[in-house]
Each structure stands twice: as structure tokens, then as C-alpha cells.
Amino acid sequence: MLLPVKSPSFIMSLGEGATPLILTRRLNTHFGLHVLRIKDESRNPTLSFKDRGLCAAISKHLELGAEAFALPSAGNAAVSTSAYCAVAGVPAHIFMPEDTPQQFFNDCKMYGAVTHSTPGTISDSGRVMRQENGNWVDLSTTKEPYRVEGKKTLAFEIAEQLEWNVPDVIICPTGGGTALIGIWKGLEELEAIGLIGKERPRLYAAQSEGCAPVVAAFESNASTIKAWDNGQTQAYGLRVPSPFAGRLILAALRRSGGGAIAITESEIVPTRHFVAKMEGIDICPEAAVAIAGLRNLIESGMVDHDEDIVVLNTGAGVKYS
Ligand SMILES: Cc1ncc(COP(=O)(O)O)c(C=O)c1O
């Protein structure tokens, strides 16, 4: 049993996961790469990779007796929570920064969630949520264990889609770090049950220079992440000034032999449009950060042209338009 829910009756599935690992046909040639794949997480039920973690977490907490949920979110996790709470028929209380694109508020309300618009970043939304002190399970990123458990399925699927091999490199747009931590844990479990060997992909966290606390900590060889002041980026999911699981994020990056890369904010929109024109995929701004990060990694020689690369498209561009 690699996932936490024991009784199938508690699994609130909407058909999350099993997303395609798309072999690029033109972008790879443009970058001079042999193999570049995009794991297209926009195909999940609420159009982002958040569904993996929130399906697992909400299902498991229901099994443990939860009756209501709350979380601070940059947008995608909020929509996902709202949808899975709708399936379960339990209340969802959502706290989002007031400058989050309206579409995210609309989607949460459509699923029946109670939304709160708060000044500042996701950290401030979390503070407001905790002050309310409601009778709910707090689903804040990495403050409970089961969202990361759900994110392990990213590693399971990528390895399975490569016939139980791992790529050389995985690039994750990183905010709170659930994908990075989950992928690393998932690979360890695959090795423990003998489906892969000791080989690991190098994991890279991609962030915008507008809010890059993981990159700053990695580059200064720190073991914890210092809060980033006045974080601003249009890749809203990456505006996490103080990731709670800093130590785990840095450990996964270092143990994998990978690293962290920041790109300039002005690269985000052109990169998103470029990928759409080259591959027919409307990636989210966060994934544009990862693709621009890949370009920087190639130019700086940290990624070789003959390596097998996977980039996560963590969500759908359409929500931000
Ligand atoms: C589309 C998208 N990509 C990436 C991230 C960052 O994910 P994580 O917090 O797991 O690092 C988020 C988080 O909100 C997101 O919405």
C-alpha cells in the first residue's frame, strides 16, 4: 500500500492523475535537446497537479473523522479543495490573496466553498485563517502529511510511463515544495519495492526572481529557507515567501544532485506563448518559469543536450487569462 487511505469508501476520486507525459517535437529541437518531455498536469479534474495531493489529503482526513476543511492558497489548491469537499459534501473555507485572478474565486464559489479575500501573500492568508480558528482541518501546504503522499503519484507515473526508468532531470516550478518532496519520497518507495534501482533524476526547483527563497537558500548553502520580503510574481503559485518545509525541499534538491534556478519575471509571458506556439500546450505561468529555467540550465551547462528531461506543466494557462 503506497497511499494512505485504508477504506476505499473514503476515496473521493474525480479521476485525478494518469496525465500524459508528452514527448515534445519542436521545443526539444529549439533547445538542442535529445529528449524533452512535458508531464501535462493541466489534464487533472480541476486543471492542476493540486488534485493529486488534495484528493489524498481530504480522503484520508475524512477517514480520520474530519468534517470541514480550510486552507490558504495561491489559487489552484483552493479550487481543488473546493471540488473534493463538494464530492465529500463537507464545507471548504478558502483564504486567498486579494490579487489572485478572479477565475479562482469564481471556481471555488461554484463548487460551494466559502471564500475569503485577504491582503498580502499566501503567508498573510494563512495568518488570517489561523486567527479565525475554525472547527476545520487545516490543509496548509506541508503542515499535514497527506498532500505530499498524493504527490508521490507523480513519481510513480513518470517512472511507469518510462517503463520503470527515471529521467536524468525533473524540473519543478516550486512554491511550497509539495511536488519536489513528494517526487523524492515516491522514488524512494519505488526503490524499496524493487520497481526501480538506486538511480535518481536530478531535481531542480524553478522560481521567479520576484520571489525566490528556495534559490537563495540553495545558492548560499543554507540548511533552512529565509523568508523572502515583498514577494511578487505573476506565477502566483510560486509566491510563497516562506515555505514551511524548507529543510525537506533543500534536502531533496541536494540529495538528488540537482539545484535551484531563478528566471526573470519578464521571461514568463513570452515563454508561455512560445510553448503554446511550439507544442500546442497552454502551460500555466508557473510552468513557464520551469521552461525558462531549463533554458538557463542548458546555457549554464548544468543540463546536457543528450539528457532525458521532464518538465512539469503544473496547471492550465486558461485560468490566468
Ligand atoms: C500551477 C502551480 N504550479 C506550481 C505551484 C507550486 O507548487 P508547490 O507549492 O507544490 O511547490 C503551484 C502552487 O500553488 C501552482 O498552483
- Write the pLDDT tens digit of every residue in 198-246: 999 999 999 999 999 999 999 999 999 999 999 999 999 999 999 999 9
Same domain, 276 and 196: yes
pLDDT at 73: 98
289 CA → ligand 1 middle, Å: 11
29 band by pLDDT with thresholds 50, 70 and 90: very high
Same domain, 15 and 72: no
Q: Is the CB of 76 under 6 A from ligand 1?
A: yes
176 CA → ligand 1 middle, Å: 7
Q: Is the CB of 126 under 6 A from ligand 1?
A: no
Q: Which residue's alpha carbon is nearest to atom 16 within ligand 1?
A: 237
Same domain, 26 and 86: no
Cα–Cα distance for residue pair 28/36, rounded to 1 Å: 5
Tens digit of pLDDT for each residue in 133-175? 999 999 999 999 999 999 999 999 999 999 999 999 999 999 9
Closest to 204 in 3D by CA, of 263, 286, 155, 259: 259
Q: Does 3 reside within a domain?
A: no
pLDDT at 34: 94
Q: Which of 90, 117, 138 is the last residue of a domain?
A: 138
Nearest ligand 1 atom to alpha carbon 179 = 10
**Which structural domain, as residue segments, surrounds residue 71?**
50-138
Q: What is the identity of the amino acid at 305?
A: H
Look up the CATH number of the domain holding residue 95.
3.40.50.1100
Q: Which of 138, 162, 194 is the last residue of a domain?
A: 138
Q: Is the CB of 213 under 6 A from ligand 1?
A: no
Q: Does 257 reside within a domain?
A: yes
Same domain, 80 and 208: no
Same domain, 111 and 169: no
pLDDT at 269: 98
Same domain, 31 and 155: yes
196 band by pLDDT with thresholds 50, 70 and 90: very high
Tens digit of pLDDT for each residue in 43-89? 999 999 999 999 999 999 999 999 999 999 999 999 999 999 999 99
Tens digit of pLDDT for each residue in 289-312? 999 999 999 999 999 999 999 999
CA angle 47, 49, 51 (to 5 degrees): 80
Specify which residues 137 forms β-bridges with. Answer: 69
219 CA → ligand 1 middle, Å: 21
For the chain, the average pLDDT equals 98
Same domain, 91 and 228: no
238 CA → ligand 1 middle, Å: 6
Domain total of the chain: 2
Q: Is the CB of 182 under 6 A from ligand 1?
A: no
Same domain, 194 and 294: yes
81 CA → ligand 1 middle, Å: 14
Q: Does 116 reside within a domain?
A: yes
Same domain, 79 and 205: no
Mutate to test the pocket of ligand 1, among 19, 38, 39, 48 (most ligand atoms within 8 A of CB): 48
DSSP-derived 3-state class of residue 271:
helix
CA angle 264, 265, 266 (to 5 degrees): 90
Contact (Cβ atoms closer than 8 angstroms) between residue 245 and residue 274: no
Nearest ligand 1 atom to alpha carbon 285 = 1
Q: Does 172 reside within a domain?
A: yes
Q: Which residue's alpha carbon is nearest to atom 6 within ligand 1?
A: 175
DSSP-derived 3-state class of residue 97:
strand
Residue 296 parent element (H or E)? helix 285-299
Q: Is the CB of 94 under 6 A from ligand 1?
A: no
Same domain, 179 and 243: yes
DSSP-derived 3-state class of residue 2:
coil
Q: Does 152 reside within a domain?
A: yes
Contact (Cβ atoms closer than 8 angstroms) between residue 167 and residue 308: yes
Q: Which of 138, 171, 198 is the last residue of a domain?
A: 138
Q: Does 81 reside within a domain?
A: yes
62 CA → ligand 1 middle, Å: 24
123 CA → ligand 1 middle, Å: 14
Taking each helix axis as running N to C, give the angle between helix 50-63 and helix 76-88, from 0 to 180 degrees, rounded to the nearest 10. 40
Q: Does 198 reside within a domain?
A: yes
Same domain, 182 and 307: yes
- Count Cβ atoms within 10 A of the Cβ of residue 113 and give its class: 0-12 exposed, 13-18 middle, 19 or more buried: buried
Q: Which residue's alpha carbon is nearest to atom 12 within ligand 1?
A: 237
Same domain, 197 and 308: yes
Nearest ligand 1 atom to alpha carbon 175 = 11
pLDDT at 1: 84
Mutate to test the pocket of ligand 1, among 281, 286, 320 (most ligand atoms within 8 A of CB): 286
Q: Is the CB of 54 under 6 A from ligand 1?
A: no
- Give me the percent of the chain exceeding a pLDDT of 90: 99
160 CA → ligand 1 middle, Å: 23
Q: Does 2 reside within a domain?
A: no
pLDDT at 321: 76
Contact (Cβ atoms closer than 8 angstroms) between residue 185 and residue 148: yes
pLDDT at 186: 98
Contact (Cβ atoms closer than 8 angstroms) between residue 240 and residue 122: yes
pLDDT at 238: 98
Q: Which residue's alpha carbon is nearest to atom 10 within ligand 1?
A: 178
Q: Is the CB of 288 under 6 A from ligand 1?
A: no
CA angle 144, 48, 150 (to 5 degrees): 35
